[in-house]
Structure 1
């Protein structure tokens, strides 16, 4: 009888394990119920805007680089890698748009949940490291124009991109473990960072990721641009080794990168750090948790706007890139007009028919 009772209790425990897991996932929500109704409108709209803007911009940039650029420079290599990372992230956005439009319901399984979260951070920290490479490249070219000739080669640029992606992949391997699906109110969701019961473990990883993936590269970029600005101030006049065109290009690059960090990257990491701290150490303070969650969830989709940054950096960094873009647009319009004229000359009945339909 004792054996039979133990067997029955084992069966009961086994059957109720999924229910207990569901309760664990919702325990913190029951302690401090959060109002996140705003994100069901904000996130689909923001992600849709990033999709509509980022897809053609990065596509046009990749097309110009691959089909209309004969010789790639070091900067082109970095920017093409940025565009590829942006496009991979942008292609994952439809899944998030559908999920948030359905009020957090995740229909695509755990593997795709892990992939979507990984691609977001891959794009984020890959972009930061590649921008660091561009900043170091610009620093060497401006401050050491002669000595840096042996370092500013395409071979070293390719090596820099390989090292950057390797570091990003190693940094983000734990995110594949932390990213998971779960159930809240009998509905499958894809957790943003990790499941609520795993926040204490993720907190340590999140802090380390912020330091290694954002803070250290940001300090390198800041030092490089401070030294560039000092060099540009010192080297003025006709005897300058830095021409006016190169000076203007450097200033545009500095403004764009600083704008990206000020608008997207820094606010996101600040809000995420505060959010993680409150979720782990002050999770019973419901008003504070609500405020920090709102702060983080607003900046979370806005940081995706950095996927529109690399095309802007490409088109605004030099007049030849802008001229090439405008030339291709004019040629496309002329080809379209000449094609329409050729059709109307060879098949006049088609034009008559179309005119009749319009009438």
Structure 2
């Protein structure tokens, strides 16, 4: 929805290229994400709310992730309508700023929550006894609260950068900011990429690498962990890292490249068009991460599927078989949450 990509920005005043693809592509992809994200995240929140068992660390992180996803997907109808209208924003200044803010809140909040989950799981796998005092509900609540506070502080500037404006005779909502403020926005976005993506990603990869090394040690060095269980854990780690890399890394790479070209006032119109196209194509795909948490939640932990079918059949928590929740492996939800 960034009208800067036609003839509004100073670096692109000699580069005019069509973005008609956004009217169909972005409207369609955001519609799919909205339907899937709303239904799947609502279902997982419902299951978590209905369970009689006291919430553990995994469920606390799960609920926070689902809330972040829901806050974002509820803004998608505004984007769908605006893109279908050819970038015209009919919803006013406040919703423009709020929609942009919630997009980045979901993105960087999810990354930081994943970092908390990775550290928690790393401690439970590599230091199971020494870390027991730190793997508690209290620490999980503090970690989730600190994550929200840090994300909000990091993203407050987006409320100032994003705003509405008149371009080519219609009201648009800047995804970045107006041309005269782009230099300041570029510096802010680079700092945000470093603090909100690069550093947390490094922590996540280190934690998972150490877990894989631990799980591939000879069996006598681990405490009664079967080969099948270790193999499943390793597969899960690889799947989680692959999905995270697929969704989040290309978005930040294409975004940083596109912003850098704009900052350098590149006059290579073809390169600028390719960079813009790559960034705009990947922008809705990063939002697919809003659908991956609940999908992994059901696919990787079999007993969660059993619980869902039982709830749909009986619509009563008390009618569940006594062993439905007790058989769930400790920490299994944490694997299913990771993006």
- TM-score of the superposed pair, with normalisation by structure 2: 0.86
Say whether 1:259 aligns with 2:253.
no
CA contact (8 A) 2:12 2:265 kept: no
**Could you say if the C-alpha distance between residues 145 and 317 of structure 1 is closer, same or farther in structure 2, counting changes exceeding 3 Å?**
farther
Say whether 1:329 aligns with 2:312.
yes
Q: Which digits, 9 at most, give the CA deviation of each residue in 1:40-87, with x for residues without a partner?
A: 111011100001111110000000001124221111100110000100
Equivalent-residue separation in structure 1 for 2:125 and 2:299 (angstroms): 18
Structure 1 equivalent of residue 158 of structure 2: 175
Equivalent-residue separation in structure 1 for 2:114 and 2:283 (angstroms): 20
RMSD of aligned alpha carbons: 2.0
CA contact (8 A) 2:11 2:265 kept: no
Give the SS at the match of 2:165: strand
Query: Displaced runs of 4+ in structure 1, greater than 4 A?
Result: 24-29, 243-246
Equivalent-residue separation in structure 2 for 1:253 and 1:125 (angstroms): 22
Say whether 1:75 aligns with 2:82.
no
Structure 2 equivalent of residue 279 of structure 1: 262
Give the SS at the match of 1:158: helix
CA contact (8 A) 2:165 2:173 kept: yes
- TM-score of the superposed pair, with normalisation by structure 1: 0.82
1:1-359 matches, within 5 Å, as: 25=8, 30-236=13-219, 240-243=223-226, 247=230, 250-251=233-234, 253-331=236-314
- What residue ranges of structure 2 are gaps of 5+ in the alignment? 1-6, 316-339
In proportion to residue count, which structure has more helix?
1
Equivalent-residue separation in structure 1 for 2:156 and 2:17 (angstroms): 30
- What residue ranges of structure 1 are gaps of 5+ in the alignment? 1-23, 333-359
Give the SS at the match of 1:72: coil
Equivalent-residue separation in structure 2 for 1:65 and 1:237 (angstroms): 37
Equivalent-residue separation in structure 1 for 2:36 and 2:246 (angstroms): 17
Equivalent-residue separation in structure 2 for 1:240 and 1:218 (angstroms): 29
